[in-house]
Amino acid sequence: MICPMRKAIEKRKGSSLYLTILLCSLVTMGTLLLFLALTLTPRISSLLEQNAIDRTKDTVRQGTSSVEVYVNNMLATLNYLSGLSPATAEADGGRYQIQLDMVEKSQQDVKNIAFFAEDGALLSATGAGLAVPTAEVAAAEWFEKALSWKGTVTYFSSPHVQHLFTDRHDWVVTLSRAVDYEDAGQVKTGVLLVDYTFPAIASLASGIQLGASGYAYIIDAQDAIISHPKQHLIYAGIAGEEMQAAIAQVVGTTRDVMDGRERILIVHPIGQTRWRMVGVAYIDEMLALQSAFIRIFFIVLLCGGLLSLAGASLTAYYVTRPIYHLQEKMRAVEEGDLNTKITERGFQEIRMVSRTFNHMLQRIRDLMHQIVVEQEAKRLHELNALQAQINPHFLYNTLDSIIWIEEQGRSEEAIEMVSALARLFRISISKGRNIITVREELEHVRNYLIIQKMRFKDRFTHEIIADEAALAHRTVKLILQPLVENAIHHAIDPYGERTLHIQIRAWVEEEYLLLSVRDDGMGIPPDILSTILTSPAGKSGIGLRNVHERIRLTCGERYGLTVDSVADEGTLITIRLPAGMEEPA
Amino acid sequence: MKRTYIVAIACILLAIVLMVYGFASPSTNGRTARPVYALLLPEDIGTTVLQLRQGAQTAAAEQEAELRLFIAEQSSPAGPQLLSFLAAVEMLGVDAIILGECEKDVLEEAARIARAQSIPLVALWDHQSDAEAITVASNDGAQGRLLWEAYFDAGGAAAPMHVFTDAAARSAARLSGFEAASGGGATVHQLANVTDVTALAASLPPQSVVFALTPELTQALAEAGRGQFSLWGMDTGDSRVPLLENGWVSGLLMEMPYAQGHQAISAATAHAGKAAQNAFIESPSRVVTKDTMYDSENVKLVFPLLQ
């Protein structure tokens, strides 16, 4: 299955490499950042939230522990006092009273210590006397409860203003316990009362800070507020406290909403009492760190995205710049500037492409030069061939022969000679064509032979044998006449004792068009034969080499002349051409 | 090429700006500095002033404001000291002025400074003047009404009623509220001098019901009557407890200075940045009797927990 992105890119067919690199980099980085955001954010947020809640719980627990320590100290004092032997001053000479005074003085937080008889009568007390009737004491809850529990349980009051004693109105927490004492030989039960200053406890609770707005308060067993940082305002009706969730929770953690803000309530019992510490923390403050983290995290992600964009943009630019440079140079080449050279720079792959392109350009330049040279050579050879046709000696001799014949009154022969000469030159020019038919080439050599026959009369004979099929094929022009000329000039017997026979053939064999010129003359000496196709033109004109070169230039290396010669037997020159050669456009 | 560099540089700059903004400390990230409030009080005696200060300080801590206290010494007249405090406050530059009960010239000077610096002025008493101030105080007329209602709710029987007052504006407002609630019918005794109370009190029939509209008159009447008549008056401060416990007073109207101090700071914060304007924020009052003085909602008024 093809990736949809790849399909989209392929569909465009030619999208910018710069944009592709940029988009791929951005998609990769964006995917990574998104993955980080989606995986890390919830996890870390959850951890931070839980951490904040745990720290809040610990704070409340520590605050509760502080109160518990204080309460334990209070109980320890009460236990110590309970272990003493209560007695009136008359009974023990004031010893018990002294002990009570010592304890009160030694403990700053103890406000009152008193021992009451079963009926509420004050038996011993630190400080002032009783300010209320005995009946009122006996009816007080702290008294009744302590008696009913018979010393097994300590009564723990809520904070209140103690007004039992004359000129004393202290905020206290009252501890009371039934204690047995001996009076006139009888064991009786009385109630020991110890008042502890409440502000000390209140300050422990008010000192608990749970965030900027959070606080802690204490409620008693009846769910009434004992201590609250906003107690004044609550009683003034200016502030309020939603306690339902905390009361319902009893112990543990719960949440509620007050004044539109979500709160977490941590309810913790205070040991030895039936009080409960309620810690109130505001969720939005607790999670401020979480919010800050998320904010910073997303800012970091955003910055990462921006930096990725910058990096991707620069990377795409630096990757594509050498390619654009390459593109510009190629455009210059396309517009004809083959001398352009591409600077090899950039990535290794681009350098390789640049190097290869430079090599290609060099090769093109070399090939073009070679073509120019070959064309020039061809043109030169053609020029030479043409030049041979208008060789002054040949023309002079021919014209001279025409004059001589005409002077002899052989007008018809003169006309034939002039006609042959005209036809010779016409075919030589061939309207500038380089390729002519075999029929025309044979016609050309035939006219040449007519002229030469008139000059050399019976010193040579000739025959032209051409396959009908070969006549229509094409050949490079002016290739037979030079061979025949060579045969006439070099093979003919200078003494006239033998008649040279020249045979010209044309036939098709397989994929070749073959032309041959055979003579039965003296042959070519071996030393000349070996270099006959490479030596420059002889005194007769362009020479075999010219013909050979022209054929090879036009048709290819595997075509051309082959020369076979046996001394005193003759020479055979075979011309190999491709069959079915077309007229060049 | 240029476009690539522009894009890259723009992205990098934007990232730097985001990082700087994102990691800036809260104190430099748009949060303003803590507001500073000046609390000027003519005296520093009694639990009332202490509770007022505590309420103000608690509120200032809650709202993350700084509270600077300027309290006149008892050894010298309060007026000149308060004026010098105001001069210092003007130089210091604060975000609000909270002024305890003082003379008219001090109030006017405070109003001038508040107007010039476009800050709120909070007055802790019902000054009844033209000074532009946010008044956080008990409604004197409502206090007079409360006093009557507390007596009535306590089963007040028809009896000769006497109202003792003085020439102060607050007393007149209380009297007005009392008379409107009671429907009139009480004999009004306006005294120029507190010491005149003793003679008058001695002449009152035993079953009389006496209403005192100032703390001084209440104290004097309580000492003069010693429980011979039912006395309903204004909070006498530190002597309230024995007066209630002895039965020399039947009920005392108590203001809530802690709440008042708290309200004053809240009002200053609410009007921060604006010039003083006339507004009245009623501070609550409550009547406490011997029977209710130890109730949970009253006990902290009668016996304030001071730190």
Q: Find the CB nearest B294 among A161, A224, A314.
A: A161
Give CA B204 to chain center in angstroms.
33
Please list every residue in chain B whose beta carbon sits closer than 8 Å to the beta carbon of residue A233. Answer: 55, 258-259, 262
Average pLDDT on A501-508 reads 94
Give the tens place of pLDDT for each residue, A392-426: 777 888 888 889 888 988 888 889 889 988 988 88
Q: Which one of A173, A217, A306 makes the best mutation probe of the B interface by having the most chain B beta carbons within 10 Å?
A: A306
The answer to whether A259 contacts chain B (CB < 8 Å) is: no
Beta-carbon separation of A302 and B1 below 8 A: no
Q: For residue A463, which amino acid is it?
A: E
Å between A222 CA and nearest CA of chain B = 13
Structural tokens at position B278: 């006339």
Give the tens place of pLDDT for each residue, B2-55: 788 898 899 899 989 988 887 775 544 444 578 999 999 887 667 788 888 889
Is residue B73 classed exposed, middle or buried when 0-12, 13-18 and 19+ CB atoms within 10 A define those classes? exposed
Complex confidence, ipTM: 0.77
- Nearby residues of A54 by Cβ (< 8 Å), 6 or more positions away: none
- For A288, name the nearest residue in chain B, comparing CA atoms only: B26
Residue B228: pLDDT band (50, 70, 90) is confident
Give the tens place of pLDDT for each residue, A48-103: 888 888 888 999 999 899 889 988 888 999 999 988 877 766 777 788 888 888 99
Q: Which one of B1, B3, B4, B241 makes the best mutation probe of the A interface by having the most chain A beta carbons within 10 Å?
A: B4
Say what the pLDDT of residue A390 is: 56
The answer to whether A261 contacts chain B (CB < 8 Å) is: no
A370 conformational bin, left if phi > 0, alpha if psi -120 to 50, beta if neither:
alpha
% pLDDT > 70, chain A: 94
Say what the pLDDT of residue A473 is: 93
Q: Find the CB nearest A306 among B14, B259, B262.
A: B14
Q: Which one of B300, B301, B307 makes the best mutation probe of the A interface by having the most chain A beta carbons within 10 Å?
A: B300
B134 conformational bin, left if phi > 0, alpha if psi -120 to 50, beta if neither:
beta
Residue A321: pLDDT band (50, 70, 90) is confident
Give the tens place of pLDDT for each residue, B162-218: 999 998 888 999 999 999 998 888 889 998 888 888 888 888 887 789 999 999 999
The answer to whether A307 contacts chain B (CB < 8 Å) is: yes
Cα B132 from Cα B279, distance rounded (Å): 8
Q: Are strands A170-183 and A186-197 parallel, antiparallel or unpaired?
A: antiparallel
Beta-carbon separation of A300 and B22 below 8 A: yes
Beta-carbon separation of A310 and B22 below 8 A: no
Tell me the three-class secondary structure of B227-279, residue by residue. Answer: CCCEEEEECCHHHHHHHHHHCCCCEEEEECHHHHHHHHHHHHHHCCCCCCCCE
B273-302 exposure pattern, b = at least 16 Cβ within 10 A, e = fewer: eeebeeeeeebbbbbbbbebbbeeebbbbb
Q: Find the CB nearest B259 among A161, A213, A232.
A: A232
Q: Which of A286-290, A404-408, A483-487, A513-517 has the lowest mean pLDDT?
A: A286-290
Q: Are A190 and A115 in contact (CB under 8 A)?
A: yes
Q: Measuring CA to CA, which residue among A260, A246, A230, A284 is closest to residue A60?
A: A246
Residue A384: pLDDT band (50, 70, 90) is low
Give the tens place of pLDDT for each residue, A270-284: 887 888 999 999 888
Q: Measuring CA to CA, which residue among A487, A422, A490 is closest to residue A450?
A: A422
Based on C-alpha coordinates, what's the Rg of chain B? 26
Beta-carbon separation of B11 and A237 below 8 A: no
String of DSSP letters for B20-56 = HHHHS-GGGTTPPPPPEEEEEES---HHHHHHHHHHH
Please list every residue in chain B whose beta carbon sits closer than 8 Å to the beta carbon of residue A310. Answer: 7-9, 11-12, 15
A153-162 exposure pattern, b = at least 16 Cβ within 10 A, e = fewer: ebbbbbbbbb
Beta-carbon separation of A299 and B12 below 8 A: no
Please list every residue in chain A whose beta carbon sits closer than 8 Å to the beta carbon of residue B31. Answer: none
Q: Are A263 and A254 in contact (CB under 8 A)?
A: no
Please list every residue in chain B whose beta carbon sits closer than 8 Å to the beta carbon of residue A172. Answer: none
The residue assigned the tokens 């099929």 is A469
String of DSSP letters for A62-126 = HHHHHHHHHHHHHHHHHHHHHHS----HHHHTTHHHHHHHHHHHH-TTEEEEEEE-TTS-EEEES
Q: Are B70 and B89 in contact (CB under 8 A)?
A: yes
Beta-carbon separation of B262 and A296 below 8 A: no
Residue A521 has pLDDT above 50, yes or no: yes
DSSP 8-class letter at B284: P
Say what the pLDDT of residue A563 is: 92
Structural tokens at position A48: 């931070």
Please list every residue in chain A whose beta carbon sits closer than 8 Å to the beta carbon of residue B1. Answer: 317, 321
Cα A167 from Cα B141, distance rounded (Å): 35
Q: For residue A151, which amino acid is it?
A: G
Cα B21 from Cα A501, distance rounded (Å): 111
Angle between helices A95-106 and A17-83 (to 10 degrees): 160
Beta-carbon separation of B55 and A232 below 8 A: yes
- Taking the model in full, what pTM does it have? 0.63
The answer to whether A231 contacts chain B (CB < 8 Å) is: yes
In what helix (H) or strand (E) does residue A469 lie, and over which residues does it extend?
A: helix A468-471
How many CA atoms within 13 Å lie on the side-chain side of A458?
Answer: 3
Phi and psi, residue A359, nearest 5°: -60, -40
Residue A385 has pLDDT above 80, yes or no: no
The answer to whether A310 contacts chain B (CB < 8 Å) is: yes
Say what the pLDDT of residue A93 is: 75
Q: Are A437 and A475 in contact (CB under 8 A)?
A: yes
Task: Give the B-side interface with A, CB within 8 Å.
Answer: 1, 4, 7-9, 11-12, 14-15, 18-19, 21-23, 51, 55, 58, 62, 64, 241, 245, 256, 258-259, 262-263, 284, 294, 296-303, 305, 307
The residue assigned the tokens 């103000």 is B56
Beta-carbon separation of A317 and B1 below 8 A: yes
Give the tens place of pLDDT for each residue, A214-237: 899 999 888 888 888 888 788 777
SS3 B190: strand
DSSP 8-class letter at A330: H
Give the number of beta-carbon pairs within 8 Å between A and B: 93
Q: Find the CB nearest A236 among B241, B259, B299.
A: B259
Q: Are strands B96-99 and B121-123 parallel, antiparallel or unpaired?
A: parallel
Give the tens place of pLDDT for each residue, A167-215: 888 888 899 999 998 888 888 899 999 999 888 888 888 888 888 788 9
Q: Which one of B52, B290, B293, B296 makes the best mutation probe of the A interface by having the most chain A beta carbons within 10 Å?
A: B296
- For B11, name the nearest residue in chain A, comparing CA atoms only: A306
Beta-carbon separation of A300 and B64 below 8 A: no
Q: Are strands A160-162 and A170-183 parallel, antiparallel or unpaired?
A: antiparallel
Is residue B257 classed exposed, middle or buried when 0-12, 13-18 and 19+ CB atoms within 10 A define those classes? buried
Average pLDDT on B237-264 reads 91
Q: Which of A238-252, B97-111, B194-208 has the lowest mean pLDDT?
A: B194-208
Q: Which one of B1, B3, B6, B7 makes the best mutation probe of the A interface by having the most chain A beta carbons within 10 Å?
A: B7
Is residue A571 classed exposed, middle or buried when 0-12, 13-18 and 19+ CB atoms within 10 A define those classes? buried
Q: Which one of B9, B12, B293 makes the best mutation probe of the A interface by having the most chain A beta carbons within 10 Å?
A: B12
Beta-carbon separation of B303 and A169 below 8 A: yes
Residue A359 has pLDDT above 50, yes or no: yes
Please list every residue in chain B whose beta carbon sits closer than 8 Å to the beta carbon of residue A218. Answer: none
Give CA A262 to chain center in angstroms.
45
Say what the pLDDT of residue A575 is: 95
Please list every residue in chain A whose beta carbon sits closer than 8 Å to the beta carbon of residue B299. Answer: 160-161
Residue B299 has pLDDT above 50, yes or no: yes
Average pLDDT on A459-463 reads 90
Beta-carbon separation of B300 and A231 below 8 A: yes
Q: Find the CB nearest B11 among A203, A229, A307.
A: A307
Beta-carbon separation of B11 and A306 below 8 A: yes
Residue A351: pLDDT band (50, 70, 90) is confident
Beta-carbon separation of A163 and B294 below 8 A: yes
SS3 A480: helix
Q: Which of A521-525, A538-542, B241-245, B266-270 has the lowest mean pLDDT?
A: A538-542
Residue B1: pLDDT band (50, 70, 90) is low
Neighbours of A515 (CB within 10 A): 27
Say what the pLDDT of residue A541 is: 39
String of DSSP letters for B146-164 = HHHHHHHHTTPPS--EEEE
